[in-house]
Chains A and B, each alone.
Chain A
Amino acid sequence: DAGVIQSPRHEVTEMGQEVTLRCKPISGHDYLFWYRQTMMRGLELLIYFNNNVPIDDSGMPEDRFSAKMPNASFSTLKIQPSEPRDSAVYFCASSLSRPLSGNTIYFGEGSWLTVV
């Protein structure tokens, strides 16, 4: 399996622009997660899905952030409008079943976002 695939790997955008990050989970995985990593806050969970349904979005920082999972093989994280403080590495991850109950969470390589 190719693992969790994210795109783009790197993006530099101007403040106010819309940013869309994409993710393809590992085939057959029921859970999909979006994380954000910064030096100050570490690795934070933004939102996660189970069978394409959002389960917990309490980590989404504000209304400028939205995430969708239209089918089992694709998810997007959108920031509109983007701000410099959104600069971070965004990771997508997936797991076969209920995470931590003997099930590993597999991470993608991350999308490095810089908002100038």
Chain B
Amino acid sequence: LAKTTQPISMDSYEGQEVNITCSHNNIATNDYITWYQQFPSQGPRFIIQGYKTKVTNEVASLFIPADRKSSTLSLPRVSLSDTAVYYCLVGPDQTGANNLFFGTGTRLTVIP
């Protein structure tokens, strides 16, 4: 049973802000929300992680509402190099492999 739901694909023009939303209705009290980015021909890499409210780093921001049933990854002013697949994961790994399931993610295509 997948714990998260996110759009399959998104397109955006260069310079725009991109928001990718992930639904996780069954999030547990001690679960974190983690986002990974995968470029073609590479393994996924960590982008950002949060528990509640807002987290920001040099790459992205993560917005988490009070009920924590969803989260939004925000990429400011995207460039062509942000074209990648973005994965949302919820965990820790309490129940085994389910929380470590990446799936197909959201394929973001940035258009010139």
Give the interface of A toward B (CB within 8 A): 4, 33, 35, 41-45, 48, 55-56, 58-59, 91, 93, 98-102, 104-110
The answer to whether B45 touches A98, judged by C-beta atoms less than 8 angstroms apart, is no
Contact B97 A58 (CB under 8 A): yes
**Top 3 closest pairs, chain A to chain B, by CB:** A107-B43, A100-B91, A42-B104
> What separation, in Å, do the CA atoms of A110 and B105 have in the docked complex?
18
Q: List 7 A-B contacts (CB under 8 A).
A: A42-B102, A42-B103, A43-B103, A45-B97, A45-B102, A100-B49, A101-B30
Query: Once A and B bind, how many residue pairs between them come within 8 Å at the CB atom?
Result: 76
Residues of chain A with a CB closer than 8 A to B22's CB = none
Interface residues in chain B, defined as those with a beta carbon under 8 Å from any beta carbon in chain A: 30-32, 34, 36, 38, 41-46, 49, 87, 89-93, 96-97, 99-105
Question: Do the beta carbons of A43 and B102 come within 8 Å of each other?
Answer: yes
Query: Contact at B100–A107, with CB atoms within 8 Å?
Result: no
Report whether A58 and B96 are in contact in the complex, using a CB–CB cutoff of 8 Å. yes
Distance, CA A41 to CA B92, complexed state (A) = 23
Q: B97 contacts A105, CB within 8 Å?
A: no
B100-A33 in contact (CB<8A)? yes
CA distance A43 to B97 in the complex (A): 13
> Is B43 a contact partner of A110 (Cβ separation < 8 A)?
yes
Contacts of A102 in B (CB 8 A): 32, 49
CB neighbours (8 Å) of A42 from chain B are: 102-105
B92 to chain A: closest residue by CB: A101
In the complex the two chains form, is B96's CB within 8 Å of A55's CB?
yes
Residue of B nearest to A108 (CB): B43
Residues of B within 8 A of A44 (CB): 101-102
Partner of A100, one of B34, B43, B45: B34
Specify which chain A residues have a CB less than 8 angstroms from the CB of B44 in the assembled complex: 43, 91, 105, 107
Question: A100 near B89 (CB under 8 angstroms)?
Answer: yes
Pair B100/A99 contact, Cβ less than 8 Å: yes
Closest CB in chain A relative to B24 CB, distance in Å: 12
Judging by beta carbons under 8 Å apart, are B101 and A99 in contact? Answer: no
A98 contacts B92, CB within 8 Å?
yes
